[in-house]
Amino acid sequence: MDRERLGKAGAGVIGALVVVVALLWLSGVVGVPDAGLEHNSWGEVDDERIEILTTVWIDNPNPLGSESDVEYEVELAGVQLAAGNETGVDVPPGRTTRTFSTDVDAQQIQPWWSRHLSNGEVSTLVVDTTVDTSVGPFPVSRSDTYEEEIDTDIEGALDRGFSQFEGSYTADTDAPDWTGIDPTVEVENVTARWGEVTDETSEMAVTVRIHNPNLYPIPVPGFTGSVEFNDVPLADWTADEVELRNVSEDALIDSGDVEQRTFLIAVDNGNLPEWFGTHVDNGEYTRVVVSGNFALTIDGYEVTLPPGGPGITCEFDLTTSIFVDQEEGMSFDRC
């Protein structure tokens, strides 16, 4: 019986407290905590991790401190790059900020890149935060979302870079038994476009318009080159490796003809996480280097165009503004 009375008394005390807190809440003595997203930034970067720092503000209008649970996640193009949560976060009276750390999931960089390219190099950055706090027996939840459009034009920069290969080239060779006439190849136009994109590879279609001004047919020139982002190789191909679209390997360009050839170059998406780490570590800055030359075989001799050197190299700067406040885009440097 004593136990029963004790239970009833305890229940009565709790009920009374609930009523008191409710009255204090309704009268404005006990306030409802508020919370939101302060900002995001990159943290430490090394070979193993890319840290994201999420800062949340919490406004506790009550004279006593409380505890909160915080959840946060970062998405790019609908791909969750990072997520985390903290429980039992001490929240003193007044306004305070708390910074939470989580790491980018490196396995998600490739799916994000695939979606980014497929969407015309536009990604929506979404950062969601939720703060759950209790005011006495009453749970209070506050959510905040930051959203911004992230734009790049890597295709445009690569297109401009490859266009620097345009020109008239005459092959020459120092081979002692060379008896042929040194052929001339006129590269009238070069464009670069993204082709088929998957999580594993990104196809880059480099289309070359070639004029044969010689009095004899010449073979379709092969194309050798590379693309590097911050010294990370994304594509590296030789003339006998690159695939030609809808052209047989022994195709010739007749005298006076103008032919268009598309070289299909495979970008290795497996190197993207390494590049993304360098991009973040450099303040969202990347140095893009595009190199290449043409080669053709005549009378058993392989000659390169332009002759007498490693080819043409073009460099660009790529900047983004995911968490860094700066102008995003590509700036063409030199070839």
Distance CA 217, CA 219 (A): 7
Least confident of 16-25, 75-84, 166-175, 245-254: 16-25
Distance CA 75, CA 52 (A): 12
Read off the pLDDT of residues 130-158 as tens digits, 9 standing for 90 and up: 999 876 666 789 999 999 999 988 998 88
In a domain, 2, yes or no: no
* Domain count across the chain: 2
Q: Provide the pLDDT for residue 28.
A: 45
Which one of 151, 175, 201 terminates a domain? 151
Read off the pLDDT of residues 272-297 as tens digits, 9 standing for 90 and up: 999 999 999 999 999 999 998 888 77
* 228 and 214 in a common domain: yes
Distance CA 7, CA 4 (A): 5
* 39 and 117 in a common domain: yes
With a cut of 70, say whether residue 161 has pLDDT above it: yes
With a cut of 70, say whether residue 170 has pLDDT above it: yes
* 159 and 146 in a common domain: no
Distance CA 105, CA 112 (A): 11
Distance CA 240, CA 221 (A): 10
Distance CA 158, CA 330 (A): 10
Percent of the chain with pLDDT over 90: 50
Mean pLDDT score, 181-190: 86
Q: Provide the pLDDT for residue 20.
A: 42
* 196 and 104 in a common domain: no
CATH number at residue 132: 2.60.40.10
Q: Provide the pLDDT for residue 6.
A: 44
In a domain, 119, yes or no: yes
Rounded to 10 degrees, the C-alpha dihedral 204/165/293/235 comes to -30
Which one of 151, 180, 201 terminates a domain? 151
* 51 and 129 in a common domain: yes
Tell me the residue range of the domain where 232 lies.
154-334
Task: Return the sign of the alpha-carbon dihedral for residues 77, 78, 81, 87.
Answer: positive
Residue 66 pairs in a beta bridge with 91
298 or 3: whose pLDDT is higher? Answer: 298
* 158 and 136 in a common domain: no
In a domain, 228, yes or no: yes
Model pTM? 0.82
* 178 and 124 in a common domain: no
With a cut of 60, say whether residue 178 has pLDDT above it: no
* 166 and 264 in a common domain: yes
Q: Provide the pLDDT for residue 308.
A: 64
In a domain, 10, yes or no: no
Which one of 106, 127, 151 terminates a domain? 151
